[in-house]
Chain A
Amino acid sequence: GNSVTQMEGPVTLSEEAFLTINCTYTATGYPSLFWYVQYPGEGLQLLLKATKADDKGSNKGFEATYRKETTSFHLEKGSVQVSDSAVYFCALSERTGTASKLTFGTGTRLQVTL
């Protein structure tokens, strides 16, 4: 079956530090890949996506590149802010039409301090 593995958290960084959150996946086909962010007390927001190998998703200064050879989709940001403190989820969806579903990683909590 499909699975997503994320690095354990929490990740604690100072403001303006560089962020990397590792994500690797196992899938039988060619999935679409996503990063979602969950701020405290809120639902999940789609942060970025990539639908095929070598695609780079980007949004709000965050980036992730779909690496088929290493089955990875690591999230990066050059300079984090306190407002980026949240839980980040890596997810995949097999492209199986109407029966597609998201398989999530366990989430990585990011805490950014001044």
Chain B
Amino acid sequence: DTAVSQTPKYLVTQMGNDKSIKCEQNLGHDTMYWYKQDSKKFLKIMFSYNNKELIINETVPNRFSPKSPDKAHLNLHINSLELGDSAVYFCASRPGQGSYEQYFGPGTRLTVT
């Protein structure tokens, strides 16, 4: 059973389009995250939700909007895509308080042309 899954795995789209990436975890974790990995492999947090509540919102353009319909799902919607949005986006989840390791999904490679 896949613990943290993301769809789609690959996403190729044109500038100006709007797209969504979906994430689901079946680990029963309370906290979920979105990270962005750039072309040099650098990873940076974007957002975090705890039990459907937004708790971390880093300096991210407001074209990016996360949404958590329930604690097992965290989606990322991106409006007006730009070339610089091309990256790999990783979803992750974390168990409850006292445990700080995170478990990552396989990633979504977004290419904006």
**CB-CB nearest in chain A for B108:** A43
In whole angstroms, what is the CA distance A64 to B48 when docked? 28
**CB-CB nearest in chain A for B47:** A101
| Contact among A46, A99, A101, A104 with B101 in the assembled complex (CB-CB below 8 Å) | A46
Interface contact B104-A32, CB-CB below 8 Å:
no
Of the stretches A19-27, A68-76, A87-95, the one at the interface is A87-95
Interface contact A32-B101, CB-CB below 8 Å:
yes
Given contacts A44-B92, A93-B102, 8 further A-B contacts (CB under 8 A): A42-B106, A43-B106, A44-B90, A51-B100, A102-B33, A106-B40, A106-B41, A107-B42
Interface contact B103-A46, CB-CB below 8 Å:
yes
CB-CB under 8 A from B100, the residues of chain A are: 32, 51, 93, 95, 100
| Contact among A38, A51, A97, A101 with B97 in the assembled complex (CB-CB below 8 Å) | A97
Interface residues on A, range: 20 to 34
CB-CB under 8 A from A38, the residues of chain B are: 41
B66 within 8 A of partner (CB): no
B83 within 8 A of partner (CB): no
Given contacts A43-B90, A44-B90, A107-B42, contact A102 B102 (CB under 8 A): yes
Q: Smallest CB–CB gap between A105 and chain B, Å?
A: 9
| Contact among A34, A98, A104 with B55 in the assembled complex (CB-CB below 8 Å) | A98
**CB-CB nearest in chain B for A31:** B100
CB-CB under 8 A from B103, the residues of chain A are: 46
Pairs A–B under 8 Å by Cβ, sample size 15: A43-B106, A43-B107, A45-B104, A46-B101, A49-B101, A87-B41, A89-B43, A93-B102, A97-B97, A98-B55, A100-B100, A101-B56, A104-B42, A107-B41, A107-B42
Interface contact B104-A99, CB-CB below 8 Å:
no
Q: Smallest CB–CB gap between A103 and chain B, Å?
A: 8
Interface contact A43-B105, CB-CB below 8 Å:
yes
